[in-house]
Every structure is written in C-alpha cells, then in structure tokens.
Amino acid sequence: MRRTTTTATSADAGTARAPALTTIRRVAPYLWPEGQGWVKRRVVVALLFLIAAKLVSVSTPYLYKLAVDSLSSEAGSDPRALIGLGAVGLVVAYGLARLGSVVFGELRDAVFVRVGQRAIRRLAIETFTHIHQLSLRYHITRKTGGLSRIIERGVKGVDFLLRFMLLSIGPLILELTMVAAIFAWVFGWQYAAVVIVTITLYVWFTFAVTEWRVKLRREMNDQDTDANQKAIDSLLNFETVKYFNAEAREAERYDSAMRQYETAAVKTGLSLSFLNIGQAALITTGLVIVMGMSALGVRAGTLTVGDFVMVNAYMIQITMPLNFLGTVYREIRQALVDMGEMFGLLGQPAEITDAPDARPLAITGGEITFDAVRFAYEPERQILHGISFKVKPGDRVALVGSSGSGKSTIGRLLFRFYDIQSGAIRIDGQDIRAVTQSSLHQAIGVVPQDTVLFNDTILYNIAYGRAGASRAEIEAAAKAAKIHDFIIGLPQGYDTTVGERGLKLSGGEKQRVGIARTLLKNPPILILDEATSALDTQTERSIQESLHEMGQGRSVIVIAHRLSTIADADQIIVLERGQIVEQGRHEELLARNGRYAQMWERQSAEEEAEPAGEAA
C-alpha cells in the first residue's frame, strides 16, 4: 500500500516500462498458445506461404536474365537457359513468378490476420480487466488521457510486433541469405562479399541511428501523452472552464504542451531524413560497385547482358526489403516501447487482492462491526485512530462530523477499497479480508454524493444495478425511487440518453436514477455517502423519503452532512479527527450538550435563516 502511490504515478506518466525482452516473452505465447491448435496451424501455414513467396521472389530476376539473354545474340551460348522456352515463354514465366510472389504473400497475411487480431483482443481485455482490479488509490492518482493513450498505443503495437517479427524479419534474413548465395554461385565470391559488406553496413547504420531515434520518439510520445491529457482534462471540466472564463488559459495551456510536442516531432522528422539519406547512400554505393564489376565482366566476355541485368535486378530487389528493414526495425522498437508501457501498466500490482483461502461472504443478518480500526492513506497522515462501533442487523447508523474527520473513509474501508493497518472489519462475524471481494461488493449497495452515470440510456443505467434484470424489475425499481413518472414523460422514455456522466439530467434526477440502480441490486447492506448533500433543500427532502424507504430491512450506514436527515437514526456516531467523540441517539446526544448539540444548533440556525433569505 505504501508503495502504490509512487508506482501508479510513474506508470501513469509513462515512465514505468517493461524491458524489451520481457515484452517479447509476454507476446510470444500468443503465437504458439497451449491448447489452441487452430492458432498453431495458422502460424505454420503462414510460414509455408512465406517460404513459397520468397522462393518465387528470388527466382524472378533469374527468369528476367534468361529472357534478356534469349533476345541477345548470346542466348544460344548460355547453358543455363531453360530448354524449350523462348523469349515469350520466359517473359510469361517471369510475369507468373512476380504474380506468384504477391499471391503467396497475400495468402500468408490472410492466414495470419486472425492470429494477430486474436492477440489484440486477448491483450486488450487482459489490460482492461487488470485496470479494474487496481485499487481506488491508483485510479485517484492516474490521468485518464495518458492512461488511454498508453493502452491504445500498446494494443496497436501487439499486432505489428507479431506480424513483422514473424512475417518480416525472418523472411528478410532468408531472402538476403539466398541472394548472397546466388551471387556467390553465379558470379563469384567477390560479388557476394560486396553484397554482404553492403548489407552489414546498412544494418549497422540503420540500427545505430534507429536507437538514437527511439529516444527522440519516446520523448515525442511523452509530449503527445501530456498534450492529450491536458485536452481531455479540460474537456471533462468544460463547465468549470466556462465558469472562470478560462478558455484562453486552457488554449494556451494546451498550446504549450503541443509546442513541446512539435519540437520533439520536428527532431524525430529530421532524424528520419538523416536515416533515409544514409541508407540510400550505402545501398547505392553497393549497387554501383556490383554493377561496375558486372559491366567489366560483360566487356571481358565472361558475363552476358542478361547477367548484367540480373545483378541490377537482384540489387534493386534487396533494396526494398533493406529499406523495409529500417522501417520495420524502427516500428518494432517503437512497438516495444509502446507495449513496454502497457505491460508496465499490467505489472502494476493489485493493492487489494483476495486471500488464497477466501470464501464467499455469507449474510445472515447484516451485522457490521468495526473493531479498533486504524487506517492511513499515507504513513505520515493517520486518518482513523482505533475506531470501534457496531451496526446491528436492520439498524440505521449515521456518521457525522466535520470535513476530514474520516466519515467517507469508513464507507470505503467497508467496501474494501483499501485495507486497514490494524484492527478488523467484520460482517456477520466474517473479516472482510477473508472473503472474496466479489461477494463483498455484491452485498453492499452505495449511493454516493454525486451519482455518475454512463453515457447511455436511462434504462441501461438503472439496469446496471443487476445483470439480467427484466424490464418489469427495472421499472419497479424506478417507481420505488419515484422517478418512473419523470422517465415516461420524456420523449424517448427509458431510451433517453443521459449524456456523459449524466450531465443531461439534474442533480436530483441523477440521484434518483442512482437510487433505482441500487434498489435493483437489492443489497442487504447500504451505504449512503452524503447522498443528498449536493442537492437543494427541497430536492433533498423529496429524495430523503426514497432513501428512507430504501433502507427498510437493510443495515444502513448514513454518512451525513445535514443532521436533520439523520435525526431518526438508531445510532449517531460523531467523528472528529478520526476518533469517535460521541455516540448515541439524537435525543441522547442533544441532552449531553456536547459536540453534536453544537452542530445541531448551528445547522438549525442556518436552516431557519434559509426561508428568510429566499423570501428576501
């Protein structure tokens, strides 16, 4: 727990990356998964098509040479000419070879595409699932925009890495080896030596410059992530920007981030031009040397014009894959960086995990016990100091106190968003650390201060309370939350879209949808976390009736701001600085004339002043 904040921030900023070898090891099983025979068969067939494509591709310049020689005066003197094929036949064979190379290459891609897409889907769902398993602490500190970019780039890199590691690097090495062997066999070792030296220098230069470019690209990605985060952050806070007339400030803030991205992108672009020029110079030098050597051979009569053409064709043919090597290496290195960030995210440990012997929570009555609970978000800032209290089955217990006293923290601990440092929290005698999180979360319903809705229909948002609920059950929950009449009065009724975070609905309407959603879940334990404190007094009073009915037959913890809403609670607990200072029923606490009585007197005076203020 103490390490999580630092780790989360690091990963969020994009600095925590899995090493390249670790990334490759993580991806490799997707090419040859255990128990997935169809994947293995597709990989084998793709490799066979790949080899066929390269064999046909390498034979193409030789057929071209024979066609040229058959048209020259030396055609009959070439013992390697294909018997029985004239110039036209050789041209047709040459064309079929070119077509065959393309066809086999496309068949390879067609067979392999499902393997790549399957890997993308599996890694995407693995990442998505893992993010939901991370703690609330992580999600409070993470940046949504930066996180989404890391996932987006990482998932895209999976298909590229799988496809090009298997279907590009291997074939390239095979093709270059075959070309060098043909040069040595047909023309002599000198030609092969020039080709090998050219390829070696080309690969060395490409890798060296690309390593430098990867650092520039990484800086560009970081700036891109930062700019994207600022844009999303500003759009999510659209109303706040408007309230403070800060459009120009936000534009300048975004432009500042984009300016840094522009600088990094320019460096990346210039480095690419340098790499391309260097690659062209090396390959052209090799081409000129072997062309010059073959030209001298033709003049000396040891080579034919077809040999001269074949040398040129082979050199041009290896130019394309060598240029492709530069691109592939750059992209693979970038894919490794992007996927390293994603695997770094996957490497974030889940702070809250089920015990190895965890069992489902068994609810017998819904009794909640806090036993000497101590908790701190950070070691230097203790929040709860040995809190102890009990909520009997079916009771309604209210937590009150000033801001920062630990009220909401108690609700989060009961839901096990965090683990306590000492003490115990029990439900019907079962320590919540010894039961599965899924069963614990299923048993607890929460109505927060600000209900956040999905950008979907009202029907979807209420139905979210319980998977598989029928339309009748959804409408019954809406009626119990006293929002059914409002919904059917809308032009699209239950199919009305609520907008992002439910912004198309008022605060009271959102809360009622949240109440309906929790009623549909039908949990035995209920947490009302200042569920009406953000609403006006009239709306609050109307919703309080729904909340009160909702709590019938359930163990309820009410985290309250307005004391008038919890005066009828079975027990009221007054917190100050993480300690219980008073505890009892409303009348008992008023009689003590202590902290609760002071709070009640102050709020009563404020509420009495409200009508006068409204009348004025």
Q: CATH no. for residue 136?
A: 1.20.1560.10
pLDDT of residue 10: 37
Does the pTM surpass 0.85? The reply is no
The reply to whether 210 and 321 lie within a common domain is yes
Alpha-carbon span 72 to 598, nearest angstrom: 111
Contact 366, 394 (CB under 8 A): yes
- Among 35-49, 148-162, 471-485, which is the least confidently predicted range? 148-162
The reply to whether 259 and 378 lie within a common domain is no
The reply to whether 327 and 397 lie within a common domain is no
The reply to whether 129 and 199 lie within a common domain is yes
Within 10 A of 362 (CB to CB), how many other CB atoms are there? 12
Q: Which domain holds residue 106?
A: 4-346
- Among 98-107, 235-244, 256-265, 413-422, which is the least confidently predicted range? 235-244
Is the residue at 585 inside a domain?
yes
The reply to whether 303 and 438 lie within a common domain is no
pLDDT of residue 80: 46
Is the residue at 50 inside a domain?
yes
Average pLDDT estimate for 250-254: 87
For the cut 80, the answer to whether the pLDDT of residue 180 exceeds it is yes
Is the residue at 496 inside a domain?
no
Domain boundary (285, 311, 346) is at 346
The reply to whether 328 and 413 lie within a common domain is no
pLDDT tens for each residue of 130-143: 777 776 666 666 65
pLDDT of residue 367: 93
Using the structure block, give the residue that is written with the tokens 């040397």.
289
Is the residue at 481 inside a domain?
no
pLDDT of residue 375: 93
- Which residues, listed in sequence order, are joined to residue 382 by a DSSP beta bridge? 376
The reply to whether 241 and 382 lie within a common domain is no
The reply to whether 19 and 64 lie within a common domain is yes
The reply to whether 331 and 393 lie within a common domain is no
pLDDT range class, residue 324, cuts 50, 70, 90: low
**Under 8 Å CB-to-CB from 1, ≥6 apart: which residues?**
137, 351, 418, 419
For the cut 70, the answer to whether the pLDDT of residue 593 exceeds it is yes
Is the residue at 146 inside a domain?
yes
Alpha-carbon span 392 to 429, nearest angstrom: 12
Average pLDDT estimate for 110-116: 84
- Among 183-187, 254-258, 324-328, 580-584, which is the least confidently predicted range? 324-328
Q: Which amino acid is at 282?
A: L
Alpha-carbon span 464 to 220, nearest angstrom: 40
Q: What is the CATH number of the domain that holds 570?
A: 3.40.50.300
Alpha-carbon span 540 to 314, nearest angstrom: 81
| Total number of domains constituting the chain | 2
Chain-wide mean pLDDT for the chain? 81
More confident residue, 156 or 196: 196
Is the residue at 469 inside a domain?
no
pLDDT tens for each residue of 66-95: 888 777 754 444 444 444 556 778 788 888
Alpha-carbon span 515 to 521, nearest angstrom: 10
How far is C-alpha 540 from the geometric centre of its chain's CA atoms? Answer: 38
pLDDT of residue 3: 34
Q: Which amino acid is at 422?
A: S
For the cut 90, the answer to whether the pLDDT of residue 231 exceeds it is no
Is the residue at 550 inside a domain?
yes
Domain boundary (311, 346, 381) is at 346
Is the residue at 254 inside a domain?
yes
Domain boundary (288, 315, 346) is at 346
Contact 299, 128 (CB under 8 A): no
pLDDT of residue 173: 78
pLDDT of residue 436: 93
For the cut 60, the answer to whether the pLDDT of residue 295 exceeds it is yes
pLDDT range class, residue 455, cuts 50, 70, 90: confident
The reply to whether 227 and 338 lie within a common domain is yes
pLDDT of residue 247: 85
The reply to whether 322 and 391 lie within a common domain is no
pLDDT tens for each residue of 555-589: 999 988 788 888 889 999 999 988 999 999 999 99
| Distance set, CA 187 to CA 80, 297, 404, 431 (Å) | 13, 9, 84, 81
pLDDT tens for each residue of 25-48: 777 776 777 777 888 888 889 888
The reply to whether 327 and 377 lie within a common domain is no
